[in-house]
Structure 1
């Protein structure tokens, strides 16, 4: 895959400076806010009665904000006792429609901090929406959440503001008045920051994602992230013998990798992996899609111990309709250039067998594995005696009759699954009427597996038949990304530099793209997972097709039109099953075939 054509390096250089190491806490402006309200739920009708806030940077108070708010409703007696705010005190106070804009102006450009932030920020956002006031894209820090990761029971009995204020020696005692509580929260914030500074937490990013479950040994390795760029790409953790331990992808390599050492990565396997890591290699990619594809290929190549998924794309199964005198269905491990028709791939043999059973239930083709000549002469098998096979082996079926059934089967696999759907639905209805629900459920699962497999195969085959598809889309940063896809495989990726000739850029990208040879089967030139990632990008809103070589089409009457029904059935089953029993419904056979 080529990704040589990219935006100029200066784009990233412009972003470097302090961002290279994250935003230092000493240079970050925080607005610590506290509210008093008439109850616990803004959606339930509770109102704000007071807003208090303190703006701080580098330990210095830059300003304070305080206002009572007229709730336009009676303050409940127990709230008045708790806060000391009475109806008479708020009678002449401004209403929320003037108090809120004043606070938002005060807090503009800061990181919003609150103790139990979902409560305070939830109220503010609720009334901003009610007033039609745009909500600024505040970053939010919750001192209660942070304290639960830092403070032990030896420090404080709990993480209430009053307990923490005492533990950190706050000069202000919280008293359920907004400004006093905000001042106490400032002292708690500074106390937490001072304690975490000794653990190597010096930036806002590290503070936001700090977890006490990340060990000191992990934090000491945070320097391994410093050479990585702020760019999309793939990262590889390696041990002291350069063996790949783990492969991941991110839109921002440095920020993501840093979290393994200083932040919220709490998976025990990842902690074990970081303990073994001696280096991290970054591969910068032109686009997020290129990064996703490279990740899949690197996982398949190195099979890292700590990656759970995508390590063995070669371990798949296909259902094959053979091309011979008397065709049959069989399970195979790979696609050959033998003119056969293939359905798949399936990640497990069990799932493939379910699909095979659904087809055999509908089409009475032979299930024996022997090769039969033009005029076979053998004894019929048990399936023939049960009328579940046309029995060409003993001459019960002539060649024309058998060929007609095979044509229907091939049409079901490639274009129209209605025959299988109708046959199995009739069978399920009959079983349900006899109250044989467990058996009916087995048929339902077989049908759902077939539908998903057929839809997947048709989508994959449609793209892999095209020698080349060139497409572009405007990404979140406003730039146009371009991808060249050949036979379902990503052959080139790039981003059009600002001011460049788009047509010339695309021509050069196509010229430098990987040469991909066609091959048989629904996913001949790439893994199914890679082609599906590409399809998701191609099907996303805002995509523009630059050029298509071949016909990229799926059958109108294909299996995809049945998917919604069976996916809805599975979701309804999940909603009706107790939570602790749902895991059984999420086994691979209940998921889209892979």
Structure 2
């Protein structure tokens, strides 16, 4: 028998089996039990057939009987277990930089909703406009609501002793665990069930697993008006979860332990260790699952390779157990590795700085030190390269640098907006060819050549806009630009629209602040433990000094001396700005642009007295709510 004929016969057998499933009494019984009457026959068949194929076969025709189905679904499911279905709304994606704006939980016991709670929370900061559009929660709605330190204890008491259930549970759980620990010194480690993971296991034919798609697939009412509010999302998740528990009963999952185990993704056969590797596998298995930096050494204690990862063990394991040819070729270069060192770090910045320094020392190439993403916007009023340009690296050449940007498209848009409003010379390297072609002249005019003396005022005005110092309605800017363009420029209406768009992009890309090389900052971030702190002193964009200490015992005298020496002593020059220091400055600049703060930052403007700096610094160390904030002095 040919292989083609065998495949055809197998497909025919599978089709017959599926028709038998659809026509069986058990299929209709389950459909009614899951309350899937609102969806059509075809959708119900597609939804339930994978479930029936997973059920242990029973009877001569390979189908579970109606009696067996009724037996499995009879009685309440885990009647002694209470599930708390939780949803939260936040100002962004990660604590502590982003805060909670709403907490909601729906309690489910024996397949029924038995209680619920919903609390609006004042995040203590402005809610971004894109979050307002998504959730409908405005600053006015939370202005008179309790802060998280007041609202969180009661909410945690409400869900205490329950199994934690959420859709994409890691997000909600991470926020609650972080703030429970940092604000309340309280451990929150419940058993966790994720409806997203359960959907992947129970509904393999479903293309999308977001809350709206699942609600529609299961025939639940889904209202756009109330979605993305915590209570309505928790209620929808609860109804999905109740149906999922019924499906799990049919699979014989009759305990909480079996349910927790079932939600884990099915893993294929793990790849073998690469040939020639002499590293003891036990050393890999002993690595932490934390965020941090790892170093690979050979038998002579020479650093072969270094890197960073959110899960150190997984990252190192993937290097020595390659999953594809490219990874296999790289593994051949690691044959000499004999041991691994790992350093767990709680801060994204501390990890990036440590990794950068480790990569410089490794014998294998770890990158070219160019900034990730789109690079910098460079403003220069003189020298060999006057004008506005894109660069991928920071330099100490008297120009001003803004960024780094996350994407080249952002730089292209910004250059277009600048050159549409300002008659300035521009430069774009080969990597920005598309932007150079558009060249900010889309719908605009080629800039006239001005006397060198007139460019200074234009650059000063542009810096004012980029740094957020000039309002959009400033008529002086409009008059200056209209005069500079002369008769060759855009019409007054177009010019005003160009200026407005430039202001909009500056706000959208969060550029409002000093250029990179003008920054004077004190950054305090968590270290290897929850109590350890790394303190970085940044002067003129470069790292001038760093110190580590315990949060409960800050070296007050040393910190005060460094503040006075670095920021008030005019003769202090700090470290020489060699290329490595500039690369390191890019690490700090990239971190600030990506909004990945785990501690807090003091932004020093002018000659702030040391006593005031120390008061703010020590106050922020004692206040858990200071985490994720920038304090301007």
- Is the shorter-chain TM-score for this pair beyond 0.5, marking a shared fold? no
- TM-score w.r.t. length of structure 1: 0.43
Structure with bigger RCO (C-alpha 8 Å, 6+ apart): 1
- TM-score w.r.t. length of structure 2: 0.41
Larger radius of gyration: 1
